[in-house]
Structure 1
Amino acid sequence: MFASTRPTVRRRALAAAGTAAALALTLAACGSSNDDSSSMPGMDHGAKPSASASATASPSMGDMPGMDHMAAGNGLSDTKDGYRLTSTDTTLTAGKAAAYRFTVTGPDDKPVTGFAVDQTKRMHFYAIRSDLTGFQHIHPTMAADGTWTADLSSLAPGAWRMFASFTPDNGAGKDTAFVLSRTVTAPGTATKTPLPAAAKTAEADGYAVTVKGEPMAGMAHPLTVTVTKEGKPVTDLQPYLDTYAHLTAFHEGDTAFAHLHPTTKVNGDHGGPELSFNAELPTSGNWRLFLQFQTGGQLHTAALTLNVG
């Protein structure tokens, strides 16, 4: 009898393991950003830049310089499916512009030099302090040997996480979106900045942004963003990286990364006032959202806290 039941037990165990593995997968974030103009030096929790904005309290395990082999799928790992984000930079000078250099290696341990274009760029790069201040969103440049250089604006002291978002255009990971990250430290006195309370509105450069929607952790949910200025609907949003707005989110506590995909179709320089996004935030808690949109050739960044149940 026991011999006849073992295969069934084994199959059930394998099925349960497969289900758990599938549930463990979260969204793979795709990033996009502007070049120099989207770098917000020392940006605080709002949309105003502040080079002296303070950073974090004592670093957690996820904030140790270099990188931590943490769960893949939310950007909190330097390796996934044989691809690895490598860098010799574990510290960067605080208080001034800094160059962060890194390489992506493939399953063959060789530098990857072929990347697919995603939202007009081959590599999207993000920097955020562990208290979710200092947001920067830039496009690095790659040398012939596969070394990328991300020119960062001034970093306030504290622990930072650097995210690289890319899609290989050949090899084992062809057409697969990856988000990998490493942590660095900007030496100096660092004091944690409290995360602003959850809110539905934010301001940036005279524009007001309102977010509607109640996302639940691990479930796809629509979000609507409305942009106004002086109480009037904004209808002159310009295309930015093939869309009218880019929305990036970071989770409080572990800085997990998520990209909220726009669904509004682009039709010339008259986007707005409403923009639609497909939100899938894998973890409950507070997320800091950074909405980037462009008018008159200028990029604006609005930030707000969204609580996810």
Structure 2
Amino acid sequence: MPEMPGMAHAAGTSQGLARGLAAEQDGYRLDAATCSVPAGRPTAYRFTITGPDGTPVTDFAVHQTRKLHFYAIRTDLTGFQHLHPGLADDGTWTADLAALAPGTWRLYADFIPNTGPHAPELVLSRTVTVPGRATPTPLPAPTDSTTVDGYTVTLHAQPMAGAHQLTATVSQDGRPVTDLQPYLDAYAHLSAFHEGDQALAHLHPANTVNGDHGGPTLTFQALLPEPGNWHVFLQFQTAGQLHTAELTLHVD
């Protein structure tokens, strides 16, 4: 099957086994000094990516304007963070996490080793425990529309497991929004997490970027490989401000 835009982001593995749920793939491994993060205060989370030779990787390709994208989500799919850590000369990454609530969290690293034009995009992850009494938040019911910062985001799709087209529209006070600004070389950034196993789908719209003139329609080629509920976080930027819309999408 030909690879579609966004498919590599969603699959997370050439073998279809992990989708971001393993710490090691193709000889690359996500290593961290700790498996516990304190509750209630910002934390500098340090980690390395070791390569097939067992040493920390220091050379990464730039994709979507960054060398590594880092995500955090709690097991109930709350507390979403999308960060861009700093890389030290010795291969140590530092992700500045905002305060985490008690519970179990999965932390993902999305990167491309700079080994040539056909280097794979990899998504590795580990879990950390945040001590304290965890109070799970029920996943919101599936819906096709949500509002954030005065903007209404509506998804138009017939969601089914596998590859399909997903379209989002952005409006404000009933009027189409046409001044979306590029964010990470695209007019939007969509992260979706599967309820139950926290599989990650990471997508960008196919729309051509032309200055601060994005919207109102954003078209994605989506690969949501499992049926069930996916909690979707759609990030977009206007007037220098980043907005994060979230909603639950049910996939048959």
TM-score by length of 2: 0.93
> Are 2:147 and 2:153, in contact at CA under 8 Å, matched by a contact in 1?
yes
Equivalents in 1 of 2:177, 2:222: separation in Å?
Answer: 23
Superposition RMSD on alpha carbons, in Å?
A: 1.6
In structure 2, the residue matched to 1:189 is: 133
Count of aligned positions: 242
Instruction: Write out per-residue CA displacement over residues 78-132 of structure 1, whole angstroms, 9 at most, x where no aligned residue.
Output: 0001110001111111111011111000111110011000010000000000000
CA deviation vs aligned residue, 1:166-189 (integer Å, no higher than 9, x gap): 000028x96210000000011111
Aligned to 1:305: 248
SS at match of 2:46: strand
Q: Following superposition, which runs of at least 4 residues in structure 1 exceed 4 angstroms of deviation?
A: none
Counterpart of 1:142 in structure 2: which amino acid? Answer: L
Residue in structure 1 matching 2:102, options 157, 163, 177: 157
Task: Select the structure that is richer in helix.
Answer: 1
Match of 2:190 in 1: 247
- Partner of residue 90 from structure 1, selected from 9, 16, 35: 35
Please tell me whether the aligned partners of residues 220 and 280 of structure 1 are also in contact (alpha carbons under 8 angstroms).
yes
Alignment partners' CA distance in 2, 1:258 and 1:212: 18
1:270 corresponds to: 213
- Residue 227 of structure 1 aligns with an amino acid whose one-letter code is V
Q: 1:288 aligns with which of 231, 234, 246?
A: 231
How much does 1:220 deviate?
A: 1.2
Counterpart secondary structure, 2:9: coil
**TM-score, length-normalised on structure 1?**
0.76
What aligned pairs does 1:251-262 form with structure 2 within 5 A after superposition? Answer: 251-262=194-205
Does the alignment pair 1:206 with 2:172? Answer: no
Q: Is contact 1:72–1:80 with CA below 8 Å preserved after alignment?
A: no
Structure 2: stretches of 5+ with no match in the other structure: 1-5, 11-15
Larger radius of gyration: 1
Distance 2:18 2:7 in 1: 6
Counterpart residue type for residue 128 of structure 1:
I
Q: State the secondary structure of the residue aligned to 1:293.
A: strand
Identity %: 62
Look up the match of 1:77: 22
Q: Distance in 2 between matches of 1:213 and 1:260?
A: 15
Which of 108, 119, 143 does residue 175 from structure 1 map onto?
A: 119
Greater share of strand residues, 1 or 2? 2
Maintained 8 Å contact 2:188/2:204: no
Please name the residue that 1:232 is paired with: 175
